[in-house]
Structure 1
């Protein structure tokens, strides 16, 4: 290459006529010419050219677009650089697709910080040394734009998620019902406010939202009033005070002397509320032998102690039209050892029937003293019911579980009562499914069913399950888990296809006895009354 030709080409490119006689060349012009000459010489003498092209993403044309390193005050040798030399101050690497709003704000604030003269304190090299995940300084402009527009689409979507979840939490704290359409409506409102115009609350988004936050459809098991919600703090305080009182009093009693009793209403014909059926069917029906039996109930009253045992017989109050049994009924009544039977017109207990329970079940089952926990039902709130026992040398100290707290701190309500109902439902379902000629809502069959339930749940294998009812409500400090419940002991999947083990019976097994562990068909368990004392 000829340098004269290059100079001639430059003159043509800049449209300048070369005047070799031009006087007075300035110092700056001379320096520029010298640097240009060095560049031209290096090009003439080299044999290979490397061309580098740097591409940045989505640079804007605002006032910050043309920022250069000179726009930042200082250079790489300044004190501003030195303060970041320590490796402990280097931020963690952020992947390109995971810049958070907080990170963007931090970078922009760090880069834009000014000194006393109003100039930026830090050079681009300082910023890049601090935040090494930023490829080039154009990203600072991009971060400013994102922050101005309330974040990227991804960030806006995350904000929608947070807003909707806060609304969900607020609604559930007030125990309000929420459905899928409410979640979608809230998300669309939030997206509109954030100008996320292309957001759609699709089924996929809804499903993902519910999975992220562990949300699913649940059956409402208890109803509370708004007044109860507003008094929630008072209710919680009464729970804490009751537990504190219990722990103070319980020091004076043995674990077997601390009792909990509760009345449980059971429909004369229990039926399952769920079933396997076909997808897409408009109605899923279930059948019962008597609709009347599903709306009328009887009451059972179990008692457990803090030692993990069922105490005394089961108390059973049957529903009789006139509130009493006739002589013929009494003569034909099935009377097992572990059930004390009474009746009322409603099938529910009255104050006089509470005294009957006291005399027939409580007194024979305790020693000289007992600490009794029972709920706030008015029929048992009379202190004289238990003060009268002093005349026979029995000291029963009853402490009343505060109103509106039984579902939270009554041991029997925690776990045991559901296990009783589970066992009863198994019997009802087997009769219905196999079309057995047995009416479980008849008087003697109800008594037999209650007796067998009490017998099975009295087995030592359920001790830890009963203890868990106390532990889960705060009465015990040590967790008895793991324990076995009714499904584990009596209806294990491993015995589903096995045969009855009584008298060479080849019928399929219905239940595993919690006492003798024998597999029993329905005939040998219920009809022939497989009872253990």
Structure 2
């Protein structure tokens, strides 16, 4: 490689005549020539070259409505930039430079900049716009805002809008307690994308999983069902709940914690069975065994009573299901009768008005002092006030206050935690007998009584 040839080629590229008369050479030119000479010498003496390519990302204005001059936004005919009469303090909208701009802000800026006078000319100059919106770096942002609004935002912005729209629909559906599934979420998302002309959006399974994770959404079993009428009455239900709690606070001041009681009826299937089990993955049908299908559809009723100080009051009241609502003499002779269970029966296995009085005499009265504040639900069988007024003759004063309908799951102590413990304990006992294949039919009469007695014994322990 000949350095002279390189210099000759450079002269041709720069269209310079090397044979022309000598000119005065500056220090800068001399310095640059030395640097170029070093580079040429390095290239001539080297047998290997490393080529490095550096790529940078620059912002280039390619918008059709690009402003070339400061005053491209036309002023009034009189050329006065201060053509709008406003006070600086009232109209200085921006004192900071945000990283992003909201849709509302963009619309406001564009509307302000594009305002026209009666002759159809723009009223405001860039200087006027800049004076009002100090956060705008330059006038090109007005064009960017205009294009952004015409396209209804960027792809990212549209995706975020879809998320907000779908989540709003989800909240509205849950507020009305309407069931929905994954396909409904995806359908809403596709509808929103279509309205925004975002054709490439597919509402994929990945998007769905991300959406559900972001908003804490999962599939849940419906534990209670309500009607549309009940939903519309929620405000009234909430009001009655608050009124009851206020009434209770006032009355409870007159009683000690051991004198405030809550009682409730609990229906239990004659044979409880688990609805879940460990099994193999991919199993198409998971079966569960019971001793009697008939026993899983019939039930008996127990009625526990607890006090505010955390004690179980009196024996457990048990109502069995018997044909014609009575037990025969042979049944009575062989009946297991523990001390902690008061046994009765009905044709349905549920309590009646007369059985409430029987509970009062056999369970409540022997277990309370001279005065008691009793909380119970709105079941019609116990709404007769005379049931407790009759106790004055035996020196007992029971003041019953009724928990409003549709509120027991929120404010009744037994419904909040205690009844669930009873059912869970009974289910564990049923499952243990089935798993160990013990020769015991827990749905038989005496075994039901023994089971209830055992449960009462356990929940009366201090640990509960």
* TM-score normalised by the chain length of structure 1: 0.68
For the Cα contact (< 8 Å) 1:72–1:123, is it kept in 2?
Answer: no
Q: Deviations over 1:88-144 (max 9, x none)?
A: x753652xxx665356457657877999x922363898799735xx6x654442232
Tell me which of 144, 147, 169 is aligned to 2:146: 144
> Deviation of residue 331 (structure 1)?
2.4
Change over 3 Å in CA distance of 1:112–1:440 after alignment to 2 = same
Q: Deviations along 1:160-184, whole A, 9 cap, x unmatched? A: 1111112111121111111111111
In structure 2, what is the equivalent of residue 120 of structure 1? 125
Residue of structure 2 equivalent to 1:311? 313
Number of the residue aligned with 1:425:
427
Are the equivalent residues in 1 in contact too, given 2:67–2:139 (CA < 8 A)? Answer: no
- Residue 297 of structure 1, CA deviation: 0.4
Unaligned 5+ residue runs, structure 2? 1-14, 16-25, 33-55, 76-81, 83-87
Aligned to 2:45: none
Out of 360, 363, 378, the residue aligned to residue 361 of structure 1 is 363
Counterpart for residue 63 of structure 2 = 60
Instruction: Write the distance in 2 (CA, Å) between the matches of 1:180 and 1:409.
Output: 34
Alignment of 1:61-460 (within 5 A): 61=64, 64-71=65-72, 91=96, 94=99, 100-102=102-104, 104-105=106-107, 118-120=123-125, 122=127, 130=135, 138-460=140-462
Within a 5 Å distance, the mapping from 1:450-529 to structure 2 comes to 450-462=452-464
Q: CA RMSD in A?
A: 3.4
Task: Evaluate the alpha carbon distance shift between residue 192 and residue 54 of structure 1 in structure 2; reply closer, same or farther with a 3 A threshold.
Answer: closer
3-state secondary structure, aligned to 2:345: strand
Higher relative contact order (CA 8 A, sep 6+): 2
Contact kept, 8 Å, 1:259 with 1:304, in 2: the verdict is yes
Give the CA deviation at 1:404: 2.2
Q: Is the 8 A contact 2:375 2:402 kept in 1?
A: yes
Between the aligned partners of 2:360 and 2:27, the Cα distance in structure 1 is 114
Equivalent residues of 2:97, 2:135 under 8 A apart: no
Name the CA distance, whole Å, in 2 between partners of 1:369 and 1:67.
92
Q: Secondary structure at the match of 1:309?
A: coil
Count of matched residue positions in the alignment of Structure 1 and Structure 2: 403
Shift of 1:327: 2.4
Is the CA contact (8 Å cut-off) linking 1:114 and 1:121 kept in structure 2?
A: no
| C-alpha distance in structure 2 between counterparts of 1:57 and 1:197, whole Å | 27
Bigger mean CA deviation after superposition, 363-372 or 401-410: 401-410
Partners of 2:62 and 2:276 in 1: CA distance: 59
On the 8 A contact 1:269/1:294 being kept in 2, the answer is yes
Do the aligned residues in 2 keep the contact of 1:59 with 1:142 (CA within 8 Å)? no
Report the TM-score, using the length of structure 2 for normalisation. Answer: 0.78
Gaps of 5+ in 1: 1-8, 10-43, 463-533
